Every structure is written in structure tokens, then in C-alpha cells.
A and B are shown apart, each in its own frame.
Chain A
Amino acid sequence: MKIESRIQGTRMVVQVNGRLDAAWADLLLGTVRDLVREGHHQVRLDASGLEYLSSAGIRSLLKIRRELEAVSGSFGIAPAAPFVQETLRMSGLEALLLVGEEMPADAAEPAAGDNADSGTETSAETVAKTGASPSAVRFEEHILDLLGAVTVTAHAGWRPWQQVLDGACLEVPLSRPRFGLGIGAAGRDAEDIRSRLGDFVAAAGSVAWLPSDGADRPDYLVQNERFLPQLNAIQSLVGEGKFSHLLRFSPAASNACVTLSDLYEQVLRTTRADAAALVCLAEVEGLVGASLARSPGCIQASDQPGEFPELREWLSFCGERVHHQSQVLVVAFFCRDPSHLLAAHLAPVPSRPGLLAHAHAVVLPFRPLPQGVLDLDASVATVFDDNTPLALLHLIDDDRPAVGLGESAFIRGACWCAPIHDLTHITT
């Protein structure tokens, strides 16, 4: 079988020649998945050169259709060889898979935002294509709520790397519409979780954290009607409010990507604020970060976990750029002003002097996102649905000369953001 793809107007046409049977079905599925990953959500299959179509082939076509529907794309077979039409008609799939002659014009493109649901108010929506975006990445700004802003509740019951004192733990509610990050764990009480405290990230009712009791993968909680997730945390930054903007970004040139600090700068520019917060769903170019390997709750008075080499016992560093092409959910708080009240909870970004940030990311298997304006709650729910988190990292900017791994970067994604208007400190 021979597969060729070409762009025709707004659509991606995949031309298939030869036999589409069990032996080749997976190759076609993989090829189309790669195209979807690259952002082509309108796919047509040119089946005029098809010689044979088996049930396994039909199954793969249905699968492609289902996956494209999930990202609000479209799929159809046009043109099709007469026997293909006949085969599909007999299986009763004609209506699902065959599309008639279409206008190959841009008119077929669905209007941007027509699938935005009511979760976010799109009162004054405009689309602006910013030409001068860094590193050949195309940014698309969608205004969600011009008055959107978040209030941040900061809690620092533990200063690294001291002992965790009694009462340092706080129950932190993390149900919608809150989002946040910090160090905590799920459990009955402060004593119960003492040996399991790990990095966590929460957004849109989904909470993932990495228990530090030897588990190799993150655990997670998802909100439903009855269950409101919360963690016992010794450190947390939780935002609550309405997002003002949604930034969609995708590469304008091959191999282009957006670094985390590019994203910070872009958000600060867009929101015209000194301090902002973001929640981002994206395809990973590479992540650089660390996570707790042992619970800070286990620190004894005699330990010096902050010092090398003892630090090795407590923190695990990724060592290379990891999780290429996976999906990531990032929550970050950042500001440009070192005197900002929030700055106490952030760390400087070495490659961007003046910028301070704190970001956690949870990594999941890749799933394509629909284009245009997205609803955060629905998107996060989709990403966590049926997927187990692979890893959880506290993102680091590694600026070591020569051997540095650099910053975490993303290929394409959606970033919900808002300026930070208010900050509450909780002391315990």
C-alpha cells in the first residue's frame, strides 16, 4: 500500500493506493494520527486508487473518524472507487464515511469558536494573529473575559529544607474552578500523609500528585458531582477566578516550539499585568524538571537534605529533556516584579533576569486537542479520561553553561491565563 498526503485548501487529503487490509490498516491509522497531531483536523481520504478494502480496513477508517470527531474535526472518503462505495453501502456505513463532492474552498472551514461551549463567557471575542511571536510560533489570542482575574491563596507551612513542623499541613480544596500547585498528598490527616508528601498540580477538578513513598507514577483524583478533591498540603499556591485570555499556539515553521518563559512573557504581554497565572494543555517538546523522591515529612533534625550529596536522596532530577510528544498539563504562577508579594513563593528564572515563576506539570499520554476556543474544564476532563498520568515534575530552568538542559518547551497547545489581582497568605 502506498500512502501520500497533500494539503488541498483547508483540508488534508490522504491518498491511498493498493490494498487496505489488516496488514496495512495500522499504518494508515498511524499516518493519519501523525497528521492530526500536526494540527490537520479536516481529513479526506482519496480512495480512488484503492484496490481492496477489508473489514479491518473499514474498522481503521471508523476509528479515524471517531478520533477526528473527538477533536471537532471531520473525516470522509472522497473520491472513492466504485467498489469502495459499494462495499460501504453494503455495510451501511455509507452515510458515516462517504462525503459527496465538496467545494474545495475555505468556506468549508468551520468558523473559529463555533464549538466553544457555554462554560466560558465569550462576550467579546476577537481573534488576533500576532505576527511578531518568538521563535516562529504562531500565537492566537482569544479574549474570554476582559475583566477576568484570579485571586491567589498562598500557603507556606514548610520552608525548604527544614523539618516539617506539626500543624504545617493544611487541607486545601482543589475543586473547580480552582487550580494550583504545591507539595501535599491525599490522606486522612497530617500524620497519615507525612511519609507520602509529594509535588502536586491541580486544575479543573483534576488533581495529580506524585506520592514520595517509592511509587513510580503519579496518583490522581477527579471531581464529580459528589466528590470534591482536596489534598493535605504543606505548601500550596491556589488560584481562583476567571481567565481573561486563551492563547492557542502552534509552530509556524517545522521544529519551532515555545519555551515556558516565552509563554510567561506572552501571557504578561497579553494580560498587561505584572503577575499572572496560567493553566496550559500542550504537546511536549521536552520537559526539564525535578520531583521529590522522599517525603519532606521524613526530614530529621540531623539531616541536611538541601546540601549535596544528601540532596540526591530527596530530589530526583530528570537528567535529560523528557516526555517528547506527550501531553502535559502545566499550572504556573509568575511575576516580573521581585517586590511583588507573590515573589516569596516563586523562584527566579535564570535565563530571563527579573522573571520569577513556579510551575508544576503532569504528563499524560498524547491526545489531540480540538482547534479554536476550548473550554478548560471539558478539555482537562478529556485528557484525564481513561489516561493515567505518566509523570509529575516541578519545572526547572537549567541554564548551566554547555551541559544545561535548557527550559521546558511545548510544540502546540492551549493556555488559559489571567492576571493575579489579589493575594492571600495563610499562615499556620
Chain B
Amino acid sequence: MTLVIGALTIGLILSLLSMGVWISFRVLRYCDITVDGSITLGASVAAILLVKGWSPWTATLAATFAGTAAGWVTGILHTRFKIQELLAGILVMTALYSVNLRVMGRSNVPLLDVETLASPMARFMTRYASHGDNLSIFGWWVPVQDAAMLVTVLGVTIAVALLIRWFLLTHLGTALRATGDNPQMVRAQGVNHKTLVVFGLASANGLVGLSGALLAQYQGFADVQMGIGMMVWGLASIIIGEALAGRTTPGLALCGAIMGTILFRLLVAIALRWGLNPNDLKLVTALFVFAALVLPSVVKSARNSFSNRQRHA
């Protein structure tokens, strides 16, 4: 049960990241690698502010804004200074490594006994907890801390998902979606597509920063290495989500991103339990994304050549 709760919590936290990657990768069609840096940025900003005694909400909000700023810089580099999208992301990601070290002052900030977002919920739950620090859920004993984190994160993720869905259906949001689909058309409709690209990247990285802040609070530390491979992780989640929910409307796609992240996290947790070497995890993730990107076309051509052969026979 602890495994399931843990996977659910991390899955929900990372689904914020997946939604961010979904906005840049699917909505804007922009391969934004800034994500690897901005998740760490969110985590480090939140961690250092919490250590300094800021309120968890303010710290989390500040981490979100830090992510937004990182995305904004990438967007400006790409649109204003005409740097290729991948290179712009790499530049910002690289720079963020130093920034993160500066923010934290060292490579790792532990969060011991600090107030987190889950703390109010934990206090609330303890009041009703039947058995000390543990909570009974359908007969399973669960630590209150974990349950409180799960509930909080669930609330935040649902709220954010609804907010994004609503935004994408507004005039501005429709224009943002069209920007990735057909920038020429968006310009012809009187929209500065560059502004929208910058705006989209900023909000995507804001989500990633938020995700980082929550991750730090759940894990109890922020680490300068924690962002490596996060963009690929997000991609894998989106691909699973699209297989589950499709990508026809923004609402379905967002649902898919959340479900995909949780499922992927569960799969990873099970694999680790079965003895997968954690060091191989990133390799496996990369292979998975590679397969998911390549397989559809391989299957298609195989099917074509098969039907051709049948026709000739």
C-alpha cells in the first residue's frame, strides 16, 4: 500500500510536469529542454525559502514564478534572438545548473521538520487519526504524512488541470493552441505568435517549477541533479496518456497526461520492486520514448508491405 500511495503521490506531482511538457511539446510543438533545469529551479527555490521560514504557499508560488522566468528566457532567446529551439533550451538549462547551485548555496538542501504544503492537511488528519500517526484506509494503515501529501497534491493537480483546460478554451487559449498548429494562420488572424510562444513556454515552465516545488516538499530535499531526464519522463507520460485518452480535446489530453504519469510511475515502482537497477531507469525511459515515437511508423510500413505482398500473391 505504501508503494501505491507513493507512486500515486509522485505521479500526481509529476503530472504537473507532464502538463507543462504537454503545453510546450504538443500545444506549441516546441521541444523545450529547459524543463530539466526549471524543475530543479522550482525545487531549490521552494526548498531554500522553506528553510528560511517562508510560508509553504508563498514558497511554492515563488518556485512557480521562478520556473515561469526560466521559460520566458528560453522563449525570448528563441523568438527575439532567433536561436534554434533546442539550443535555446540547452542554453537556459545549462545556465540554470549554476543558478540552482547559487540559489541553494550547495548541491543539496534537506527539508527537515519544516512546514510544507501538506502540513495543514496533516494536522487536520491527525485530529481524526484513530491510531497515532497512522490512518486506516480500507483496512490499510497509512502514515498520516503520506496521506496528507497525497490529498494536497491531488487537490492542487486537479485545480491546475481545470484551470489549464478553462484557459485553453478561452480566446487567448484558442490562439495559443493555433500557434503551435499553424503560426502563419495565427499571424493572419492578427495575433503576435512570438508573444504567444514566449507566454506558452513561460506557463509550461511555471508548471514544471510548481511540480519541482511539490517534489522537493514530498521528498524532503532539493538536489541539483534531480532534474536530469525529466523532460523525457514527461514525454513518456504524455505518450502513455495519449494511448489511454486520445488527444482530441484539451480536456481529454490533460486527463491523459495525468493518468499517463501516474501509470508510468506505478510501472516504474513495480519494476524497481522487481529488481530493476535504479541506475538503468533513465535508459529504460529513453528506450521507451524511442519505441513509442518510432513504433507507429514501423507498424504502418510493415502493414503496408504486408498488404502489398498479399496483393501481389
Direct A–B contact present (CB less than 8 angstroms) = no
